[in-house]
Amino acid sequence: VEKDDLALIVSDKPASAAAMFTTNRVQAAPVRLSKQHLKASGGQVKAILINAGNANCATATGDKVALESCRAAAKLLRTQANRVLPASTGVIGVELDGSRIVNALPALARELNAARFPEVARAIMTTDTRPKVSFHSVRLQKGEVRFAGMTKGAGMIMPNMATTLAFLLTDAALTPAQLRPMLKAAADRSFHCLSVDSDTSTNDTAVVLANGASGVTPTPKERQVLQEILCWVMEDLAEQIALDGEGARKLVTICVRGARDSQSANQLARAIANSPLVKTAIAGSDPNWGRVLSAAGNAGVPFDPAKVDIWMQGIQVCKGGLAAPFAEDELKQKLDRRECSIRFSIGGSGKGESRFWTCDLTEDYIRINASYRT
């Protein structure tokens, strides 16, 4: 349920929860409090309370405001404060007025309604241009299980544990201990393969809630299926973030093959994705593969440049580290599309692969960020 820039996600039944938080050394008050609450409640969550526009980070009253907001929500929902997880997103270093949240809560709580899921996704936006949601369901032996996910984020995006804010809900019956490795594995394949501008925020939070409302307790084998579905939902959300990157006009998918292991492949893909020169080349529909090669060379991963092959939009532009002949005009036209792909093979026999999302870097990124705060 949403009201302006405040949102409340409530589970009818108390839900099992697992969460991941930013690895930034500077952590916002709601991140610190969420960690405490998860520990105190043994991973049981009734609600998530989210405000957008103010990160409640580097604030003198931060801890107090976060706690009081949770207490107010808990009172309305007749639960304990530590069953409420707070999350904030927005500007850093500005005091957050807790009374505004507390005063808005009763109206929010009255309007709880599952159909308003997309409105919540809209309420948590900051510089996002559109809400980001993803749904999936699967029929297991004992019945159907559903997943719903939402996320926000457009700038300060290079998730390292999670991104900005992501909330994943399922009605499967799962314990916190079962959820934790599922979330970790899904984040590694989704949000950890995403960068808009190489900045990891102070408020990154990803929470998965499983309230068992479906009545379906999955078998160990079925849990693997659910793990896969959680991953799909999070991949879908991560792609939506890249495509809605601040100022972005294009989603760029980078695939790296032939690395020693998946970590090396991820490092290479990340270096390519974070290169402003690669991102501006894509903005200009310029098949400038030399920048891709140079960016990969800075990843700290050993490889032989003479064995590198590169494709853009499926067209080979570099073969054995040298220019491959291609029709420049044709490729430039293909790079005008909304979805661009870069495939980078380091020519080794390694099984390490990575698929990484980013976006192009345009003048609008500058315009948005040269004036966001004031």
- Which residues lie near a second copy (CB under 8 A)? 24-27, 55, 57-60, 91-95, 155-156, 160, 197-202, 274-277, 280-281, 283-284, 286, 288-291, 293-299, 301-303, 305, 318, 321-323, 328, 332, 361-363, 365-367, 369-374
> Between 25 and 139, whose beta carbon lies closer to a second copy?
25
The alpha-helical segments, DSSP class H, found in the chain are: 29-41, 62-76, 98-110, 117-123, 176-189, 220-243, 262-274, 276-283, 289-297, 328-335, 363-369
Nearest approach, Cβ of residue 373 and a second copy (Å): 5
> Between 169 and 293, whose beta carbon lies closer to a second copy?
293
Nearest approach, Cβ of residue 161 and a second copy (Å): 12
Nearest approach, Cβ of residue 231 and a second copy (Å): 25
Best CA proximity match to 359, nearest among 203, 204, 158: 158
- Computed on alpha carbons and rounded to an integer, the radius of gyration of the chain in Å comes to 22
Nearest approach, Cβ of residue 321 and a second copy (Å): 5
Query: Quick one: DSSP state of residue 75?
Result: H
- Token output for 145: 């299980």
Annotate 268-306 with b (16+ C-beta within 10 A) or e (fewer).
Answer: bbbbbbbbeebbbbbbebebbbebbbbbbeebebebeee
> Between 26 and 177, whose beta carbon lies closer to a second copy?
26
CA 273 to chain centre: 16
- Which residues 6+ apart lie within 8 Å of 52 measured at CB? 5, 6, 7, 88, 89, 90, 123, 124, 125, 126, 152
Label residue 255 exposed, middle or buried (CB < 10 Å: 0-12, 13-18, 19+).
middle
Give the HSE-up count for residue 117: Cα atoms under 13 Å, Cβ half-sphere: 15
Nearest approach, Cβ of residue 141 and a second copy (Å): 45
> Between 217 and 280, whose beta carbon lies closer to a second copy?
280
Is 163 one of the catalytic residues? yes
- Token output for 114: 């599952």
Nearest approach, Cβ of residue 333 and a second copy (Å): 13
Query: Quick one: DSSP state of residue 164?
Result: S
> Between 19 and 154, whose beta carbon lies closer to a second copy?
154
> Between 225 and 277, whose beta carbon lies closer to a second copy?
277
Of the listed 79, 126, 127, 163, which one is catalytic? 163
Residues labelled as active-site residues: 163
